[in-house]
Structure 1
């Protein structure tokens, strides 16, 4: 896939994923806001209901007491003013009818002892207003002109009669003089508030209190506290006076308010998060696989190029050697023929070793490589591996320093494969030393493990290369330069063998300062 097309696809997919997440977040946020608004509305409605109910009940209680006094006659009457026979006559030419309205009002004033109402005053002035309304419809041809108005009114039928009680010195102001804890109880507020909240499916704990001019009264629950953020507290006026104002306020807090609001969208939120995470994981995995496939494709291309280059040299050498042997001047020279045959054999062994490495890795991945283990001395394996590369190091003018510090080195290992592991690491140190190789091999104990450190002073590697150096086919890019032979299989083989021995291998490196490979294996008794 073209790199530019791949980049465009990644950007479009990423934008789509971000868009889906933002849309979900928008709708969830809207749901939360709507739920919160509905919650606030229901709470304020419940508070208003409690305030009005308690005030109406108190008022009805006072009026009932007054009616009881009125019925027993145990009351002082100051005076009585009656306004009666207020008439309104209306002629209807269309229907040939006359409609007569009468409104009669009777007002009676009383003085009552306030002690009966427990509002702290000597007496209370009260007035009772009786109102009677009547309506009569009369046919005009049936009304004799000599009949006076009083005769016609005798035919009026009673339509409605109401009785209204009013306090001359308004009851609300007088009741204000009574302490709030004598006007209402905690239990009553709690009962009314709980019933109203349950009607709106609000079944969470709450705390309430009645405040007078921002000061707490005795009417409050034990755990009520006025928070610093007053926006989280709901309040309504309590016990209005005649001017429709109030010094009292009923305050309510819901400690689990946010939890309750969140629970209303919890299912939707949980499903949204789960599905979004699935999409993100699937998208990330697909993206990772695409990038990984591109990297593998690049690595395989590099591997084929390196393999071709490394096979090309021995093949060319073999062809030259064979051409030389065919030369009549050389074919009779036994010494030169043997030399060329030796070259052919060495190059053939070199190609065979490369093919063997590829097959070995393939068998490891399929778990087809038979690795039998036996107790061995790791110090002896280290010294044996050094002998395999010692001549190559000396040929390049370098040296290998050995520090066998581990007093115990018994491990369970396969001699052939683990020797190959050590040789591969040593060979890697030699290949990546541009100057004369200087290698230090150290063994030491670390608890129940033995450590083997192989340190070189070569070209080192970058941080990125350190993370991927044990991957199959991986080689750090150095352009189209093949001054270092290999195809990225040696260290991959090393890692698989060490792990099969229940060990661990790691590398520390710095550019131009060399690398240190550390192999850790468990000791056996």
Structure 2
């Protein structure tokens, strides 16, 4: 890794770390904000639950005294209402410890200080209020919810007293039921307990008395007596806050992954471009070296004809011309290969397909290469005929490239096999050498790529043979792959029609 690439890598690493840090900070702030909002919602739900509870309890503790006697003086009305027997009877029937009933209670009280015909009625839900114009002189007592429901109706009476009593006890089950309803409505799941404090001393713990609660809130209700309060202790799950942050977390995660992916992709592209640049430079150096040899040879031949053949010897001229032709032919072949490679991935390259027999076709290629090497080349085949529809010219170049590579880089024995397997044609070019490092397996099919050997140029090549072969096989709807198993095998798979 050179200095420029290292700097780019460090910059991308810094950007990734900075992005992760910012995302963590923003999500933490969002977490704190949701936590505060959760505490606020719990506070509101608890205050509302207590308000509902005390309102319902106040309805049960409400007693109204109304008189339909228009001639009854206020003083006499008050004396009659607060006469011990009457008031105590009303309180007794309204006490939460007394079993509630829907039956009509009728009691009559006689007192020398009031009119004899004044009567006391305890009104239930089925008994209507006697109107102001009623001829019956009476005091009507409405208790509990009935008093609350008919509070508007008693305004017609000139003499009326409404008493609201409070109880020393708190019905924890009732408060718990109302609070659960409020929390469910707000979609909040909590573990909680009530702590009833009187004069800063714990009077009673309701629900989970053995569990420790980290968070406590005090109600803002004004219904409690002085020096008395019902504190709510609770624990919440972090999963609850994460659910509330669900959309923000998902979007943040997608953004973070996308940004990191783009940065790594950019680094990958830069590294690949750098690699391609190195490969192209190596190709240019190699092809320049290859071009330089025939050019130098031709120049030498022409110089020989001009300076070393003063007698214009025909035989010498023919020799120099023959050398020049061979070198020019070599140059032409190299240029054609480069041009063919440039047109491989374009529509300009068209295949002239025809049906031909692969067996004699492969055999002729093997025999041709036998004459140019001392290595053993063998065609292993049990088929006499195997027809294929393709371009013989380009396929000959492909097989020649693979065999030529095996001769250049492989071992002393080269075996070409051709088989028909599962309705596909499988052709293997195997040599006993193992000269391709595992780290280079994915790169050898790239354009202009050659396995790096420093400044050594012991084997001539341009780095386009395998790329050329793979591309042409794919244009025939086939595949070319490398198989290494103590040997080097290039396997071609073609469709059999």
**Which TM bucket (shorter chain)?**
0.5 to 0.7
| Residues 1:27 and 2:26 aligned together | yes
Give runs of aligned pairs for residues 469-484 of structure 1, distance below 5 A. 469-484=444-459
Of 61, 64, 80, which residue of structure 1 is paired with 2:62? 64
**Structure 1: unaligned runs, 5 residues or longer:** 78-108, 122-162, 217-227
Q: In 1, distance between residues paired with 2:496 and 2:164? A: 104
Of 365, 368, 393, which residue of structure 2 is paired with 1:388? 368
Does the CA-based 8 Å contact 1:205-1:256 persist in structure 2? no
Tell me the residue number matched to 1:305: 285
Q: Deviations over 1:314-357 (max 9, x none)?
A: 333444455566645997584x7666554443332222111110
Tell me the residue number matched to 2:136: none
1:214 and 1:377, CA in 2 relative to 1: closer, same or farther beyond 3 A? farther
Tell me the residue number matched to 2:386: 409
Shift of 1:491: 1.1
Tell me the residue number matched to 1:466: 441
Tell me the residue number matched to 1:142: none
Give runs of aligned pairs for residues 98-109 of structure 1, distance below 5 A. none
Does the CA-based 8 Å contact 2:61-2:95 persist in structure 1? no
Report SS of the residue matched to 2:494.
strand
Of 351, 361, 376, which residue of structure 1 is paired with 2:341? 361
1:507 and 1:519, CA in 2 relative to 1: closer, same or farther beyond 3 A? same
RMSD over aligned Cα atoms: 4.6
1:281 and 1:243, CA in 2 relative to 1: closer, same or farther beyond 3 A? closer
Report SS of the residue matched to 2:446.
coil
Does the CA-based 8 Å contact 2:356-2:388 persist in structure 1? yes
Q: In 2, distance between residues paired with 1:258 and 1:466? A: 50
Shift of 1:66: 9.0
More strand by share: 1
Does the CA-based 8 Å contact 1:448-1:522 persist in structure 2? yes
For this pair of structures, how many residues does the alignment match? 412
Give runs of aligned pairs for residues 17-56 of structure 1, distance below 5 A. 17-55=16-54
Give runs of aligned pairs for residues 51-130 of structure 1, distance below 5 A. 51-55=50-54, 57-58=56-57, 60-61=58-59, 63-65=61-63, 72-73=81-82, 75=84, 116-119=94-97
Does the CA-based 8 Å contact 1:307-1:487 persist in structure 2? yes
Shift of 1:119: 2.5
| Residues 1:519 and 2:492 aligned together | yes
1:232 and 1:349, CA in 2 relative to 1: closer, same or farther beyond 3 A? farther
Of 451, 454, 476, which residue of structure 2 is paired with 1:501? 476
Q: In 2, distance between residues paired with 1:475 and 1:17? A: 34
Q: In 2, distance between residues paired with 1:299 and 1:242? A: 88
Q: In 2, distance between residues paired with 1:288 and 1:72? A: 95
Shift of 1:209: 9.4
Shift of 1:48: 3.3
Tell me the residue number matched to 2:168: 172
Tell me the residue number matched to 1:345: 325
Report SS of the residue matched to 2:416.
strand
1:252 and 1:303, CA in 2 relative to 1: closer, same or farther beyond 3 A? closer
Q: In 1, distance between residues paired with 2:260 and 2:341? A: 34
Report SS of the residue matched to 1:364.
coil
Report SS of the residue matched to 1:461.
coil
Does the CA-based 8 Å contact 2:479-2:494 persist in structure 1? yes
Q: In 1, distance between residues paired with 2:388 and 2:11? A: 55
Tell me the residue number matched to 1:127: none
Does the CA-based 8 Å contact 1:403-1:441 persist in structure 2? yes
Does the CA-based 8 Å contact 2:213-2:234 persist in structure 1? no
Select the structure with the greater relative contact order (CA < 8 A; seq sep ≥ 6).
2
| Residues 1:447 and 2:422 aligned together | yes
Q: In 2, distance between residues paired with 1:344 and 1:164? A: 129
Shift of 1:414: 0.4
1:24 and 1:330, CA in 2 relative to 1: closer, same or farther beyond 3 A? farther
Does the CA-based 8 Å contact 2:417-2:428 persist in structure 1? yes
TM-score scaled by length of structure 2: 0.68
Q: Deviations over 1:111-150 (max 9, x none)?
A: 98756423379xxxxxxxxxxxxxxxxxxxxxxxxxxxxx
Shift of 1:400: 1.1
Shift of 1:374: 2.2
Q: In 2, distance between residues paired with 1:287 and 1:40? A: 46
Shift of 1:37: 2.1
Shift of 1:10: 3.4
Q: Deviations over 1:124-180 (max 9, x none)?
A: xxxxxxxxxxxxxxxxxxxxxxxxxxxxxxxxxxxxxxx99888xxx424x66xxx6
Does the CA-based 8 Å contact 1:502-1:522 persist in structure 2? yes
